[in-house]
A = this chain, B = another copy of it.
Amino acid sequence: MEKYLQVSEAQRVVLESVATMGAEQVKLEQSLGRVLAEEVRANRDQPPFDISAMDGYALRSADLASVPAILEIIEDIKAGDLPSKTLVPGQCARIMTGAPMPQGADAVIRVEDTEAKPDNQVQINQPVKPGNDIRRLGENMRNGEVVLAPGTAITPGVIGVLATVKRAQVQVYRRPRVAILSTGNELEGLDEPVDPNKIPNSNSYALMGQVQALGIEPVLLGIARDDPEELARYLKRGLEYDVLLVSGGTSVGVHDYVRPTIEALGVQMLFWRVSMKPGHPVAFGKIGAKIIFGLPGNPVSSMVCFEQFVAPALRRMMGHARTYRRTVEARMTHNVKHQPGRTEFIRVLLAKEPGGYAATSTGAQGSGMLLSMARADGLAVVPGDSAGLAAGGTVTVQLLDGTFFQDDAGFGE
């Protein structure tokens, strides 16, 4: 039999085998979820001058030595205006958030702390310190300063920063091109009529969804029958892409002809088995800069292997530093049986409870039970050497797609 790698060993082998893709230029509007391949610098001071942080009055703080104080309003300054006057003692200017400070002023008081008076006057009810509620020239960024480093994942906030420095186009790492191939005589294509003796091809589509969730549009190559020549033809086509996912073909039986077919194409296989449940017949190889994954034919196994090995590889190729699924600690609500040996991934539902999360198995964990994967919020990880988990014990849970939002706000006021 093949050597069984630990999950962490197999993850290391995969990540050591992939490199970040080359760079390409995209429009800012198409940059979300990509990773910066260039250093981005500020193109001016931000703010470009001292501005007010509040709607209120720009004034001389020394005029408020005793309050209440009555000041004369000599100007109205809106954002986008340039102030035309200089304040002398006893004067102030009405000012809007974001508007430039007038000469002579050294502080802002917000409108809530004032009272309007007749004859262009205002009563100020409390003193302020010099600098109060002023946003200083260059406070956010200095002209020429590096504001974003290569490797920065482009989130909405990063898009805002890129717009601030007027980058309508940015250099990002290219996304790998991904092809998906299913294998097996038993499989029935999505567009084929129902044959009661066949099994619908669900894996290609679940994998498609997993790849799409990473921001990559994969190509579905279809179904290769259990025939070495047909398989070789499909594999050759698949190896035109950066990443090839082959579903099925790694179990002991079909392995006999899949392995020589793959190796005859020049693919260097780095592992065929990982000590995990579900999913142990998972294989990985490379040919030049291209990589190929052999994923189990069982739908749940295939999806679990994707999350542990394929997603980290694709994320790394896209330039992401964060390659692994977000985890949270949770309280297991029931006992979990486990024979020491393989690392086990249990589909769980998560419920919030005081102090954190409670995890409960979705029920039967058979690797054909795709519905339970569809319902799951996460995968609870039972370490290989565990003799089982007791109810109430803490378990690490990988958060799956669909859990980025929750039913309630989750905080009190």
- Decide: B298 and A97 in contact? CB cutoff 8 A: yes
A48: nearest chain-B partner, CB-CB:
B196
- Decide: A80 and B326 in contact? CB cutoff 8 A: no
Q: Is A339 an interface residue (CB 8 A)?
A: no
Selecting from A233-241, A263-271, A393-401, the interface stretch reads: A393-401
- Decide: B370 and A161 in contact? CB cutoff 8 A: yes
Distance to closest chain B CB from A309 (angstroms): 11
Give the docked Cα–Cα distance between A98 and B210 (Å).
23
| Contact string against B for A residues 77-120, beta-carbon threshold 8 Å, 1 for contact and 0 otherwise | 01111100000000000101111100000000001100000000
Contact A111:B190 (CB < 8 A) given known A148-B374, A202-B163: no
Give the docked Cα–Cα distance between A97 and B251 (Å).
7
Selecting from A171-179, A282-290, A378-386, the interface stretch reads: A378-386
A328: nearest chain-B partner, CB-CB:
B328
Distance to closest chain B CB from A293 (angstroms): 15
| Contact string against B for A residues 110-133, beta-carbon threshold 8 Å, 1 for contact and 0 otherwise | 011000000000000000000000
Distance to closest chain B CB from A215 (angstroms): 11
Give the docked Cα–Cα distance between A366 and B49 (Å).
16
Q: List 8 A-B contacts (CB under 8 A).
A: A29-B208, A32-B213, A135-B368, A139-B366, A156-B213, A163-B200, A163-B204, A327-B409
Distance to closest chain B CB from A201 (angstroms): 7
In-complex Cβ contact of A191 among B168, B194, B208 (8 A): B168
